């Protein structure tokens, strides 16, 4: 089992795009932190959490369904245009209903989510963001499903660059609302690019009258409903949790919490770059002899890329907080290492979540994320009032540990998704290192020395040299 040059180049390409996209998020957070402090970051965090749920509902599971349905249409000789048409109609309906809901309950949403700190116009702009996002993501998912990675790469780069260039002027002119205008620009450029490059053949699609094919529709709805149920459980639980957090500790302290949550989530720059390539690939190789090699080499690739960034953030929380926010946010620096341990466990759970979805093990997919969400809310209810931010941090950690242990039980019955022994050992080495560093009461220089020594002695450094060699060629 080895990592191929093709895998690495694909990973690097989409990671570079995600770096651009997250640079947009970094600049946005930094500007808001400088101009509006913890309060502004709190509002930004509340909006992003709400948008994460809103976007999943508006797409109604299309993120998984379009890719899985495309691959199944090839295997089963389905009418691919009919598959696309069904998805388009579903997304249209959910956007109409979702937009009406936000407009009708704008006052309550402002009070519930933002503690009354934004007006109705802010909520109306949220509706517009959702519509443009849905249109752009529909086209982007079609391109991803067809594995037209070059076109996908260009569209994501153009939209990211344009949004970055316009970010500061827009926030300067429109204030907090500039966040939403920036989202609109980002998704509008993406939509226009993919539309102009024939991501969707409108002429061909219009030739297909809406036919009722129960088999196709049943499959689409099955995958979509599983994904949307998972989204409501996972992202919905986070949003509900954030609503309680704001009520208990206030939106300013929530802004401080948001800073360290965002820093840990920047690891997703790598995991999302991985998923863009890996998910359609593993889905298309479901019934091939190459599945096991793609599965194991994919895991190894993900771990080797994320480890250096995880250890850097773990060792230097002060630097990352001051660099990405301001000194005001150093109040929460001691909680960042615990969140990084949680992130390492989350990456393992995330990898298997992708594979459950890509191999149509939808029950396992929703069970794992659903359990994690329920445990998070239960722990939050117990710990939040008494321990505040540290209670929130340990609620995240406890939920990930519970999901991890449950995953191990599930995997005993699934031989196809068993990692090779070397990959399991590799993962546990990294997890053990972070746990040891957390319990050792030593200065930063000793921690750096231990980390370097541990990596040299126990990790396969030859793999890093191979990755660097391929990166330099690229």
pLDDT confidence of 101, banded at 50, 70, 90?
A: very high
Percent of the chain with pLDDT over 90: 41
Model confidence band, residue 223 (pLDDT cutoffs 50, 70, 90): confident
Mapping DSSP onto H, E and C, the string for 222-283 reads HHHHHHHHHHHHHHHHHHHHHHHHHHHHHHHHHHHHHHHHHHHHCCHHHHHHHHHHHHHHHH
Does residue 365 carry a pLDDT above 60? yes
**pTM of the entire predicted model:** 0.79
Question: Which pLDDT band holds residue 288 (cuts at 50, 70, 90)?
Answer: low
Q: Which of 429, 283, 439, 453 is nearest to 358 (CA)?
A: 283
Q: Name the percent of the chain in helix, strand, coil, to the closest 5.
A: 90, 0, 10
Confidence of residue 63 (pLDDT cuts 50, 70, 90): confident
pLDDT at position 69 over 90? no
Query: Using DSSP, how many helices (H) and how many strands (E) does the chain show?
Result: 18, 0
How far, CA to CA in Å, does 123 sit from each of 82, 111, 165, 166, 178? 34, 11, 25, 22, 13
Place 347 in a pLDDT band, splitting at 50, 70 and 90: very high
**Is residue 391 very low, low, confident or very high in pLDDT (cuts 50, 70, 90)?**
very high
Mean pLDDT across 199-213 = 63
Among 68-72, 100-104, 134-138, the least confident range: 68-72
- Per-residue DSSP letter, 201: -
Phi, psi of 116 (to 5 degrees): 75, 15
Query: How confident is the model at residue 134, as a pLDDT?
Result: 94
Report how far residue 312's alpha carbon sits from residue 324's, in angstroms, rounded to the nearest whole number.
14
Q: What is the mean pLDDT of the chain?
A: 85
Report which DSSP code applies to 185: H
List Cβ neighbours of 49 (8 Å cut-off, separation of 6 or more): 235, 238, 239, 242
Q: Does residue 286 have a pLDDT over 70?
A: no
Residue whose C-alpha is closest to residue 62's, from 86, 98, 96, 44: 86
Count the Cβ atoms, other than its own, within 10 Å of residue 194.
27
Pair of tokens at residue 207: 């030739």
Arithmetic mean of pLDDT, 112-126: 92
Least confident of 28-32, 229-233, 427-431: 229-233
378: pLDDT confidence band, cut at 50, 70 and 90? very high
pLDDT of residue 202 exceeding 70, the answer is no
Least confident of 65-79, 192-206, 354-368: 192-206
pLDDT grade for 381, boundaries at 50, 70 and 90: very high
**Predicted pLDDT at 464:** 65
User: What are the C-alpha distances in Å from 145 to residues 9, 148, 151, 334, 336?
Assistant: 19, 8, 12, 42, 36
Q: Give the start-to-end residue ranges of the domains of the chain.
A: 5-473
For position 204, what pLDDT does the model report? 60
Question: Nearest-CA neighbor of 438 among 306, 329, 317, 263?
Answer: 317
Of residues 100, 126, 113, the one with CA closest to residue 179: 126
């Amino acid at each position: 089992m080895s990592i191929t040059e093709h895998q690495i180049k694909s990973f690097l390409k989409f990671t570079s795009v995600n770096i651009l996209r997250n640079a947009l998020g970094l600049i946005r957070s930094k500007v808001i932190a400088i101009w509006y402090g913890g309060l502004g970051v709190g509002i930004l965090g509340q909006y992003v959490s709400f948008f994460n749920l809103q976007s999943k509902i508006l797409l109604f599971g299309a993120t998984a369904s379009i890719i899985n349905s495309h691959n199944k249409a090839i295997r089963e000789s389905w009418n691919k245009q009919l598959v696309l048409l069904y998805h388009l109609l579903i997304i249209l309906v959910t956007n109409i209903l979702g937009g009406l809901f936000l407009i009708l309950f704008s006052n309550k949403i402002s009070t519930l989510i933002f503690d009354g700190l934004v007006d109705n116009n802010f909520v109306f702009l949220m509706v517009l963001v959702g519509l443009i996002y849905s249109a752009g993501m529909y086209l982007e998912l079609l391109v991803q499903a067809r594995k037209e990675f070059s076109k996908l790469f260009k569209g994501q780069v153009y939209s990211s660059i344009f949004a970055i260039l316009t970010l500061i002027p827009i926030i300067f002119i429109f204030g907090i609302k500039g966040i939403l205008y920036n989202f609109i620009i980002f998704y509008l450029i993406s939509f226009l690019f993919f539309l102009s490059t024939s991501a969707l053949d409108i002429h061909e699609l219009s030739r297909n009258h809406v036919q009722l094919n129960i088999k196709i529709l049943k499959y689409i709805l099955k995958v979509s409903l599983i994904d949307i149920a998972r989204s409501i459980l996972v992202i919905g639980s986070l949003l509900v949790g954030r609503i309680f957090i704001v009520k208990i500790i206030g939106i300013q302290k929530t802004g401080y919490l948001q800073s360290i949550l965002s820093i840990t989530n920047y690891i997703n720059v790598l995991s999302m770059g991985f998923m863009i390539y890996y998910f359609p690939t593993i889905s298309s190789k479901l019934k091939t002899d190459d599945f096991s090699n793609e599965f194991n080499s994919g895991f190894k690739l993900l771990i080797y890329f994320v480890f250096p960034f995880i250890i850097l953030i773990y060792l230097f929380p002060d630097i990352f907080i001051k660099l990405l926010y301001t000194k005001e946010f150093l109040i929460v620096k001691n909680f960042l290492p615990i969140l990084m341990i949680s992130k390492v466990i989350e990456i393992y759970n995330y990898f298997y979540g992708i594979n459950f979805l890509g191999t149509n093990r939808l029950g396992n997919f929703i069970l794992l994320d659903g359990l994690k969400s329920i445990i998070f809310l239960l722990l939050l209810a117990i710990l939040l009032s008494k321990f505040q931010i540290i209670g929130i941090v340990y609620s995240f950690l406890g939920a990930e540990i519970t999901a991890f242990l449950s995953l191990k039980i599930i995997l005993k019955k699934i031989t196809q998704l068993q990692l090779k022994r070397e990959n399991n050992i590799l993962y546990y080495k990294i997890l053990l290192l972070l746990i040891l560093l957390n319990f050792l009461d030593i200065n930063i220089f000793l921690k750096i020395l231990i980390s370097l020594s541990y990596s040299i002695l126990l990790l396969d450094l030859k793999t890093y040299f191979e990755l660097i060699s391929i990166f330099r060629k690229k």
